[in-house]
Amino acid sequence: MTNAANSFDRDVALAEIRKAMIEKKLTQAELADAADCHEKTIQNLLGGRSVRDQTLFDVCMVLGLDFERIRDHWAPTAAAAREPQDLKGEGGVVAPVYMGAYTRAAVDHYIGSYLTLRPAFSLPDVIIAYRTDITWDPEWPSLLFQESGRPDATYSHRGRLYIPTASMFLHLVSLTKGAMRMVLVSQIDRTGCMRGLITTLNKQGAMLLPVSCPIVYARRDHIDTDGLGQITPDHPAYPAYRSMLRETIADGYARLVDA
């Protein structure tokens, strides 16, 4: 009975993926290239075989699909259940030791939606604003973050929160095929903000170069889509966004050291 239900759910997800590929006129090879994975991985996915959540996420970002809905239809892999307990966490409520061994009860206040702000890497005087949702993942006990509403949706990240014991800072880390992006921010304050630095790669012409800049996560009960995307100086939200970013450096949440 369970296998039949999982098969049906996976068929629903596959139907959405195939439909999106047709609408975007993407071949398997083109989807693999856009999702930064091997064509064989796409063939496995379209064949209904188990793939990693990260693969599903990357494919959904390319196709413009709702990752959460697709994942809900996709049966959990047997491999996840076989992970060593010290890596996976305990009982669905305690994160693994290497992530900080934090309990869900201790980090519930991080769960929610955040307006995320950082300077544009290549466009002067432009602020990039997007949404980040933080949830608890019971399958791999830990806080999980996922970005959406980015102007460059293909590069949206999904990863996990590492919270060291007795530290005033935490890490939002995403890892894809050895490529790591790390965000180091202060713990959430009474205003619902986390501030710090993002370190990643940015495409400059034909090359990818390391970049780092201030970043702010501001918790919001409602995020207006009109305030997301590339925010230029003539946008009504620009002064407030710029002030929040400047406070990150001015108030001592992070330092940018000039060589």
- Check if the beta carbon of residue 217 is closer than 8 Å to that of residue 112: no
pLDDT of residue 117: 98
**How would you classify the pairing of strands 193-204 and 158-162?**
unpaired
Q: What pLDDT does residue 225 have?
A: 93
Torsion of CA 132, 135, 140, 141, to 10 degrees: 130
What is the predicted pLDDT for the residue at 231? 97
Q: Name residues whose C-beta falls within 8 Å of residue 144's C-beta, 6 or more positions apart in sequence.
A: 134, 135, 136, 137, 158, 159, 160, 161
- Classified as helix, coil or strand, 68 is helix
- CA 142 – CA 92 distance, rounded (Å): 8
Class of residue 124 by CB neighbours under 10 A (exposed 0-12, middle 13-18, buried 19+) = exposed
Q: Domains of the chain by range and CATH?
A: 2-80 (1.10.260.40), 87-250 (2.40.128)
Which residue has tokens 């491999």? 79
* Tokens describing residue 129: 């604003």
Give pLDDT, residue 32. 84
pLDDT tens digits, the chain, 259 residues: what are they?
Answer: 444 445 458 888 999 999 999 988 889 888 888 877 788 889 889 988 888 887 888 888 888 888 888 888 886 443 344 344 444 455 568 888 889 999 999 999 999 999 999 999 989 999 999 999 999 988 788 999 999 999 988 888 989 999 998 899 999 998 876 678 999 999 999 999 999 999 998 887 778 899 999 999 999 999 999 999 999 999 999 999 999 999 999 999 999 888 7
**pLDDT value for 3:** 47
> What DSSP character marks residue 154?
G
Q: What is the DSSP letter of 103?
A: B
Predicted structure pTM score: 0.70
Q: Which amino acid would we find at residue 149?
A: G
Per-residue pLDDT, 206: 79
